[in-house]
Structure formats: structure tokens, C-alpha cells
Amino acid sequence: MNTEQEVLSAQQLDELIDLIKKFHGFDFSCYSKASLKRRVIRIMQNKKQTFYDLKHTLVNNQHFFQEFLDEITVNVTEMFRDPSFYKAINNQVIPYISTYQHIKIWSAGCSSGEEVYSLAILMNETDLRKKSFIYGTDINTEMLKEARKGIYSLKKIKSYAENYQYSGLKGSLTDHFTIMYDAATIHSELKHNTLFSVHNLVSDAIFNEFQLISCRNVFIYFESELQEKILELFYNSLAPLGFLCMGSKETIRSDKFKKKFKVINSKENIYQKIAT
Amino acid sequence: MPLDNNIIAHWKKSEFLLIGGSAGSFKLIFNIVKNFNTDLDKAVIIIIHRKKNFFSEIEKLFAENSRISLKEIRDKEVIHKNTIYIAPANYHTLIEKNGSFGLDVSEAIWYSKPSIDVTFESAAEAFKGRCTAILLSGANQDGAQGLLKLRDNGCLTIAQTPEEAEMPQMPLAAIEIKAAEYILNSEEIFGLLQQ
């Protein structure tokens, strides 16, 4: 039985995590290991780097770190990902938050902004745009630059358009974009009430109070202990009776937070903060 | 190919069974699920290619016809024996060394999310030789590399006989790179899993 030589051992991964923390200030120590390791191996293979090459480049080439960050933080996102989620927000959350004077929304881990603009479109379609404000945050400054532009390739828009059709909103996705050549730009009035800024869920603190926090398919990259810590941050960042949305396969596992949130929609993972 | 003692022994000591299938594998997987006995004593992890946004009734249909508990995988769920786990659509399913599932929404592999390769490769690292993996009918090459990694880590690896598969490409790709230790038809697969 020949046991394969590992491309990257668990110890080597820990070594990289330490090094990144020291030299670049990002703490990946509580990230889910299987996914993180796969991403790192992918970079090594694409760059034809050994573990030692990678270490050396990470220390000596500041420019390379951005590339590394782009690769290990998964930036795959869609507009109207899980269309049934948007339907549920429209039916179960909008009637409630529409009674507020101002609606503040936080899309945590927003990557290239697709979720922020999906929510902006939803707010627009429900006549709440003028009193709503959406904050998109991410650890990756390059992704935030993309998000601020609000420009997506037609190829992407095509794949998002199918989601839109299932979301229950009227018209089509392209109604909200200006299309030129092979790119689509989100309508400027939809950008007005959005703000993109850097925030690291691992290390940064509360920055505002929200009626709705959406953090979908971000927890999957974190180990359970870190998930707990971030749930605390979200709980404290929510207005009384504010809503928390998680990815459809993510779960609040601890009794502590199960008691602090009421389930609004178990399939779409929408919760409401309750007083304790 | 008759089942030799080697394959039966390796299957019996496996703690996990991984099944990967795509186009043309559904009926076979359904029958496998239906035939498991309550004394299986293993965890079964099934990765079937499927489209997002189509709420397939796979879990419901499988659960109604299974004698052992069956669920769709959720993030950080701990893997238990005598349970069948189905990989959710539009996520990759990974296996952590502590014996729990992790999910990932990164790029599709071979146009597939879930990708069989991703689960097989992480299972190879997490489970080492403690599992049996079967690659069934499918129209692309997903699963072949993962199956090879499982084989290299001492797992029992099986590909469905291509001549019998509705879509032979997937088992063929695995056989081509010598990822499959055994090539079995569906009857032989049933026979083995009944042991």
C-alpha cells in the first residue's frame, strides 16, 4: 500500500498561517482547514511553487500577497443566489422592516458586491430604496474595488438572470443595468445608497446598528469557535428584533445563540434577534 | 469479475462508503440506498451532480425508501455511522480531519458543483485507507482524479463497468488513469454492498 506524499501537510499549513499573521496581519487560524488547504494547494499548483517557494514569496513579495488573498478567499458569488431566499425576504422580512424610518443593512463578506446589489434591487422593487442603506464589507480590498464599480460581464449577468427569474421579482435582471458592449453596469440610483468598506469579521468590531445582517456562505469557511465569536458580533450589531440571514446550509449550532434568535424561515436560514 | 476475498475484506473493514455519480447513475444509486440494511455500520456519502435552482426531490425520495437515516449535508455536521449523507447542490462538500463536513462555494470543477473530485480528494486525506469509493455513470471526467487519490491512500476504489454505464465517460476516465482497483457491474456492486 503506497501512501501518497502530501503536497502540503497540516503542519506546513499551520506554518503558513503563522507567517501570514506575522507579515500581513490576517488571521486564518480559525478557518476551516480542508477548504483552506485546498485553496493553498491550488495556488502552489498554478504557480508551480513548492512549499518553500510559497513561503519565500509570501515574505518577500508584497504584491504577491494580494494575489494570494484573492485565491484563498473564495470570491465566487452570484446575484440572487438561492432565489427562494429573496422571495422569503420579500414575504417575511420586508413587511416588518418597511415600518422603520431608516433601514440599515449589512452584507458581511460581500466579495464583488453581487449580494449588495441584489438587495438594492429588492429594496428598489419594494419602494424602500430611498430610506434604506446597504453596507457591503469584505477583507479583500481588490474585491471591494470591483464591488464599487458595479460592473459585471455579460456572461455573468446571463447566469444571474436565471436566478432573478425564480426570485419572484417582476421584469428581468437587465432592467436594472445599462449594457454596453460586453459589460453591464448597475443603474447609478441603485448604487447611491450603498457603501463598500474593509471589515474583517475575525478581528474588527461593531461599526453600526442594523435592521438586517446578511452573511451567507461565509460561515462555511470558519471553524465552529470562530462562528460563535462572529455570531456574538452580529447579535450586538443588530437592532432589537433585527434579522440575521445565513447561507441555506449553515446553522446556528450553540444553545447560547439558539436562545437569542428566533427562527423566521428554517429553510432559508433567516433569524430574528430576540431579547434575552 | 467474481468478488474475491480481498475486495470483500476491504469493504467490510471500511468505515465510510463514498458514491459519486452523474448522468445515468440516479437509478443505480436509488437502488443502492434502498438495499442498505440497518446493520450497515458505515457512513455513506453520496455526491450526485445536479443543477442549482431545481429543487430536486432526491432527498425526500431517497429518505422514504431507505431503512437507515438519510440527510442533506449541512456545514460542520459531524459524520455518524448508519447514516446516508447527500451532498447539497451548488456547494462542494469537503471532509475535515475531525470527521465533520465542510462546505465551499468555490468554482465549479468539470462544470460541476458539487464536484466528486473535491469530496474524494478531501476524503482521501481525512479517512486515509478507511473507506470504499465507487464511481458510477457520468458524462464528464469528474471523480477520476479523486478516485486515484483515494486509491493512492489505500482505499478500496471501484468503477462501474463502462459498457454497462448509461454514460461511460466518467468510469472510463477513472479506469484510464488506473484509479479503479476493481471494475464491477451493478449486480456485482449490489452483491458487494450486501456483504
Q: How far apart are CA B105 and CA A218, in angstroms?
A: 9
- Does the beta carbon of A156 lie under 8 angstroms from any beta carbon of chain B? no
Residues whose CB falls within 8 Å of the CB of residue A22, separated by 6 or more in sequence, listed in order: none
pLDDT value of position B43: 98
Buried b (16+ CB within 10 A) or exposed e, B107-142: ebbbebbbbbbbbbbbbbbbbbbbbbbbbbbbbbbb
Min Cα distance A11 → chain B (Å) is 13
B89, B57 Cβ separation under 8 angstroms: no
pLDDT digits over B120-176, tens only? 999 999 999 999 999 999 999 999 999 999 999 999 999 999 999 999 999 999 999
Interchain proximity A249–B91, CB inside 8 Å: yes
Query: Which is catalytic among the residues B14, B92, B142, B186?
Result: B142
pLDDT value of position B59: 84
Q: Which helix (H) or strand (E) holds B135?
A: strand B131-135
pLDDT digits over B53-84, tens only? 666 678 888 999 999 999 999 999 999 999 99
Interchain proximity B76–A251, CB inside 8 Å: yes
- Quote the percentage of chain A above a pLDDT of 70: 98
pLDDT value of position B51: 78
Q: How far apart are CA A269 and CA A199, in angstroms?
A: 23
Is position B80 annotated as part of the catalytic site? no
pLDDT digits over A168-205, tens only? 999 999 999 999 999 999 999 999 999 999 999 999 99
- Does the beta carbon of B147 lie under 8 angstroms from any beta carbon of chain A? no
Interchain proximity A220–B75, CB inside 8 Å: yes
Residues whose CB falls within 8 Å of the CB of residue B190, separated by 6 or more in sequence, listed in order: B31, B32, B35
pLDDT value of position B121: 96
Is position B22 annotated as part of the catalytic site? yes
Domain boundaries, chain A: 10-72, 83-273
Measured between beta carbons, the chain A residues lying within 8 angstroms of B76 are 224, 227, 251, 253
Query: Which is catalytic among the residues B22, B25, B115, B137?
Result: B22
The grid cell for A19 is 507567517
The ipTM value here is 0.91
Is position B41 annotated as part of the catalytic site? no
pTM over 0.90: yes
Q: Which fold has domain A83-273?
A: Rossmann fold (3.40.50)
Min Cα distance A240 → chain B (Å) is 28
Confidence of residue A2 (pLDDT cuts 50, 70, 90): very low
Interchain proximity A33–B97, CB inside 8 Å: yes
Confidence of residue A1 (pLDDT cuts 50, 70, 90): very low
In the chain, the amino acid numbered B51 is K
Confidence of residue A5 (pLDDT cuts 50, 70, 90): low
Measured between beta carbons, the chain A residues lying within 8 angstroms of B129 are 1
Structural domains for chain B: 5-193 (3.40.50.180)
Interchain proximity A34–B124, CB inside 8 Å: no
Query: Which is catalytic among the residues B25, B49, B115, B122?
Result: B49
